[in-house]
Amino acid sequence: MAGLIANAPRKSRTIGRRTVLKLAAGSLAGAIAAPRLIGGARAQSQTTITVWTWGGVERFAPRVAAFKRLYPEAAARINVQVVSPGKQDPEVYQALRLALTSGGALPDLVQMDYVGMPEFAESGSLTDLKSMLAPYEGDLVDSAKQLTTYDDQVVAVPFQLKPKVWFYRKDLFEQAGIDPAQIKSFDDYIAAGHKLHEKLPKSYIMNIGDQPDTDLYWMMLSNWKDARVADRDGTYQITKNPDFAQVLDWLKGWRTSGIAFNTDNWSSDWQPAFADGTIAGSLIASWMTAFLPKFAPEQGGRWGITSWPEFDRRGSNNGGSIFTIPAGAKNKEAAFEFASKMLLEPKGALDEWERTGNPMAIKSVRPQILADAKTMKRPAGMSDAEWALVPVNYFGADFMQPIFDAFDGYQVPAFDPAAAAELVLMSRNTEEFLAGKKTRDQALHDMEADMKAQIGNPYKS
């Protein structure tokens, strides 16, 4: 339960991460264990599975320790070796590309965000998991089912669901006379931002700077099911689909209206701005439950959680995080057994939630999660200061309910196989628009032209 201080990590950031439990040095390393004798009989050799993740192997250590604790019989057969190709998820994708093209050794299990998966699914590089997932399908929440699939292929085990969640300072909103439930349209949100800043000149309803976090583009675009960069025949939609123009208009509106503190997520002054009350709200995703207590430890009980306003409520943060098994992996069954036990079986899923705050992918544990959140007690060895930062104390015992409510509009973005490269070009042109170097229509035109020239048909690149 102590792990609820540190939620499952965000896609491409490693700032401020802290694990609650660390394995002894070297416990994640090593090859296949040598046969050993138990009670005079030769024990069955372990199968070593290799898991690729980002942000360092120590971040995954508590999960491996939990597997050994919860499933000792399975752990006696399956040894988990963790490798971290880099600090961010694109480095994992690049390492996998390299292994696939060079014929190098492939991992057995790869953590991805959904944004990175279509590239490998499209090329046939991932294992079809339909039969393996079949026993769990009835218990998967609808959003998790979306994460398992790409173009009718079932290729992923859902790991971290990331619904869009609005965090706001209850005390400051109350002082300004703002009710989040009454904020429905974009204009409502702007008006509330002005009202807050007029009442409390040092506080802003949100933050956005010159280089918005790239997650924000698709988090906003995922509000619409048909917001895709290109059709399968290579016809680009950016200049044709009004949703892209709408997102740029909203970003510009936030930047120029005066309601937003001028800084971007993960900049050096982002975290301090929460701590001193400058940032009084954040349109972000559920994983923020892990970071706010560390950003602003003195503000326990002051933050509320709700869904995004109706104008952009549907969608998700890059769909969410998943595990895939490469088609050429040597230990597919063992890899799936590890992932399924920890994420799709109630015992493993509840333990994962207790350690990380991850909303989890299966229906059967949700009533227990809601009940446990109200009755959690401080684990032995945890200090008063640490216990105060656990989400059930910091946000309140009912903090999971609004997160579950946010799943009502959960949608996975319409990513194609070139999504990572497209995002770079989308970001570059959007930043030029926000800086006043391009009109909105010029930015959209150049965005599409750059993609046509540098990517071509994303389904055939």
Residues 285 and 332 in one domain: no
Same domain, 256 and 370: no
Average pLDDT, the chain: 90
Does residue 106 surpass a pLDDT of 60?
yes
Q: Are residues 98 and 188 in the same domain?
A: no
Tens digits of residue pLDDT in 114-159:
999 999 999 999 999 999 999 999 999 999 999 999 999 999 999 9
Higher confidence at residue 11 or residue 112? 112
Query: Comparing C-alpha atoms, which of 330, 361, 355 is closest to residue 78?
Result: 330
The band of 340, judged by pLDDT with boundaries at 50, 70 and 90, is: very high
Q: Is 206 helix (H, G, I), strand (E, B) or coil?
A: strand
Q: Are residues 155 and 294 in the same domain?
A: no
* Predicted local confidence at residue 84, as pLDDT: 97
Q: Residue 387 falls within a domain, yes or no?
A: no
Q: Using pLDDT thresholds of 50, 70 and 90, give the confidence band for residue 308.
A: very high
Judge if 155 and 171 occupy the same domain. no
Rounded Cα distance, 25 and 265, in Å: 33
* Segment 88-93 mean pLDDT: 93
Q: In this structure, are 178 and 276 located in the same domain?
A: yes
Q: Where a domain ends, among 359, 375, 391?
A: 375
Same structural domain, 11 and 129: yes
pLDDT level of residue 420 (50, 70, 90 thresholds): confident
Tell me whether residue 339 is in a domain. Answer: yes
Q: Does 110 reside within a domain?
A: yes
The span from the CA of 62 to the CA of 281, in Å, is: 31
Q: 223-277: per-residue pLDDT in tens?
A: 999 899 999 999 999 999 999 999 999 999 999 999 999 999 999 999 999 999 9
Q: Is the pLDDT of residue 104 over 90?
A: yes
Distance CA 245, CA 340 (A): 41
pLDDT at residue 10 is higher than 70: no
The count of domains in the chain is 2
Whether residues 331 and 280 share a domain: the answer is no
- Residue 43 confidence (pLDDT): 46
> Quick one: 158 and 168 in the same domain?
no
Would 384 be classed as within a structural domain?
no
**Looking at residue 1, what is its pLDDT?**
46
The answer to whether 153 and 121 are in contact (CB under 8 A) is: yes
Calculate the CA dihedral of residues 229, 230, 235, 238 and round it to 10 degrees.
Answer: -10
Say yes or no: 339 and 249 in one domain. no
Closest of 175, 128, 101 to residue 327, by C-alpha: 128
The per-residue pLDDT for range 279-303, each reduced to its tens digit, is: 999 999 999 998 999 999 999 999 9
- pLDDT reading at 23 higher than 80: no
- Is there a single domain that holds both residue 246 and residue 190? yes
pLDDT greater at residue 1 or residue 136: 136
pTM, two decimals, is: 0.85
Give percent of the chain above pLDDT 70: 90
119 in a structural domain: yes
pLDDT (tens digit per residue) in 352-371: 998 888 999 999 999 999 99
**Do both 301 and 338 map to the same domain?**
no
Within a domain: residue 393? no
Angle formed at CA 360 by CA 356 and CA 361, multiple of 5 degrees: 155
pLDDT recorded at residue 355: 85
Residues 198-216 have pLDDT tens digits of: 999 999 999 999 999 988 9
What is the domain range of residue 270? Answer: 164-315+412-454
> Does residue 433 sit within a domain?
yes
Give tens-digit pLDDT for 164-178. Answer: 999 999 999 999 999
Residue 404 resides in a domain = no
- Beta strand extents in 239-298 (DSSP E only): 260-261, 281-285
* Segment 93-109 mean pLDDT: 96
Residue 236: CATH number of its domain: 3.40.190.10
